[in-house]
Chain A
Amino acid sequence: MTQPTAPTATAPSSGTGAVARRASSFLATRPRLRLGLLLSAPLTWLVLVYVVALAALLVTALWSVDAFTGEIDRGLTLDNLREVATESLYRTVTLRTLGVAALVTVIDVAIALPIAFYMAKVASPRARRLLVVAVLTPLWASYLVKAFAWRSLLSEGGLVDWVLNPFGAHSPGYGLTAVVMTQAYIWLPYVILPIFAGMERVPDSLLEAAGDLGASAGTTVRTVVMPLLLPAVVAGSIFSFSLTLGDYISVNIVGGANQMLGNLVYTNVGAANNLPLAAAIALVPIVIMLGYLAAVRRTGALDNL
């Protein structure tokens, strides 16, 4: 970017300026007031819309629904939490969701590492720019388009069948395998980008030094690149993990009859009309995610988001 030259300030003699000038000089000596004015609107919005909604969700989990009228009873009870904690359905679905999210994250990181390394450290600057665009473009293509694409790829007589049939194999069809493939595909760019950005920040001089001191490429990657890259990898994993954890649409599209946590939440908000139970189920991904964020905070990954 070329450095823009500062335009000369308008002379203070312009007509309407009196009030503005007084306000301006009043504020100029009061940084705390300036900060307050800046923060007031966005902070009010985020607290009112988001924090209050999350807090209300916690409270709602303690309410119950009258079985006959369907009205919400605001008396406090631990029934929903107990149900979610003890019923085997919730345990099965939670484990399934966690398993899918973990698998998707591992696959995405495993794919992203060599690509990001190639992009940042091997490719020429010109190829690097093209590769960034190439990786970014699918990010902008609609989420549903991608899930839909995999639905038609994996369908009976679809492309995957067409490729695999000559080898005597079949498309996995709609099911958990399809969910993992689709999710890994959809979130891959979200994992590549932070890892690529992290890889670019690894100084070339360190790699050269390691080479000069006799380290093989493998040793350099293991002992120099990976430790420096850890925050970026964790940042990428937050994306794929959280996005998979909260997804229930692609399960509907390619997952067959399987359910993830999101499906249970959605059913209870909609068809079953049991908001308190939905709130209690939603606490599961919140707890998992907060635990994950707390565990990775020390790596500095949150600054890489």
Chain B
Amino acid sequence: MTLSPVSRRALLAATALVLVLMYAPLLVVVANSFNPDPSMTWPPDGFTTQWWVRAFHSAGARDAVLTSVEVALASTAVALVLGTLMAFALQRFRFFGRNTVNLLVILPIALPGIVTGVALNNAFRGILAIELGVATLVVAHATFCIVTVFNNVVARLRRMGGNLEEASADLGAGLWTTFRLVTFPQLRSALLAGGLLAFALSFDEIIVTTFTAGPGTTTLPIWILNNLFRPNQAPVVAVVAVVLIVVSVVPIWIAQRIAGEAETVR
């Protein structure tokens, strides 16, 4: 197929336009974090760093970040273990009900967030009568983080094949030795990519979180939501937003370096 120069240029223009539309809102947030007018009219009529100073002295924001990191680390740890076990089971074995199990793994992200949220809220509060808090939040987050680790490990296992492991077994290594010396080193970057994604997913999640966190637990997204509608807090939220945008570049950079291709970064 040969594209005419006109359609080629039209495609390029469309791509460029969409990229501009993708980034403009984020840049506006950056600009607004320096906007002296708290109602954030455009264009900004000056430059101030007062919101940045206020944000850095906000104990609420700092505590929320710590809570979010704690929850995200715990969920990621659970997801790494469960997602990897699941990936080995589904990639290396053929068994009855395999498709159903596969569907079960993707269901927590395939079903809308409110469904997962209200189902878990009902199970914790209505059925088990457990107090909502960090623990229930970790259980909820880990459940939908499993699939990101699972996807990355399955993709890697598929590419690895079983030759090296068979060779290792033929040379007399047991299952554990083979896993430690042959399988794991090849999996490491997939685990890192999957773990990063799980961490980011948990850190950012708001819908399931509002149903499973309980009143005493404030993650960063909940803090943002609580402060969004307060007249003088909106620019402080903008500052936190800018910090989040900047921080989120780090995992992409790492993921790109270790993975090198798009398929493992999802």
Residues of A within 8 A of B (CB): 1, 4, 6-10, 12, 17, 20-21, 24-25, 27-28, 31, 34-35, 38-39, 41-43, 45-47, 49-54, 56-57, 60, 72, 111, 114-115, 117-119, 122, 131-138, 140-146, 148-153, 155-159, 161-162, 185, 188-189, 193, 196-197, 207-208, 210-211, 215, 217, 220, 238, 242-243, 245-249, 253, 261-262, 265-266, 269, 275, 278-279, 282, 285-286, 289, 293, 302, 305
Contact = CB atoms under 8 A, between A and B. Distances in A.
Contacts, number: 302
B4 A217 contact: yes
Contact of B174 (A24, A115, A135): A24
Nearest to B206: A249
A269 B121 CA distance: 8
Interface in B165-221: 167-169, 171-178, 181-182, 185-186, 200, 204, 206-207, 210-211, 221
Contacts of B29: 145, 148-149, 152
Contacts of B237: 148
Interface residues of B, number: 106
Interface string B247-260: 01101100010001
A289 B88 contact: no
Contact of A246 (B86, B101, B207): B207
B95 A35 contact: yes
A148 B118 contact: no
A193 B266 contact: yes
Contacts of B81: 41
A38 B241 contact: no
Contact of A60 (B107, B126, B244): B126
Contact of B15 (A20, A119, A132): A119
Interface stretch (B50-58, B69-77, B108-116): B108-116
Contact of B43 (A153, A162, A265, A278): A162
A7 B25 contact: no
Given A6-B167, A25-B174, A153 B25 contact: yes
B61 interface: no
A42 B112 contact: no
B55 to A, nearest CB: 14
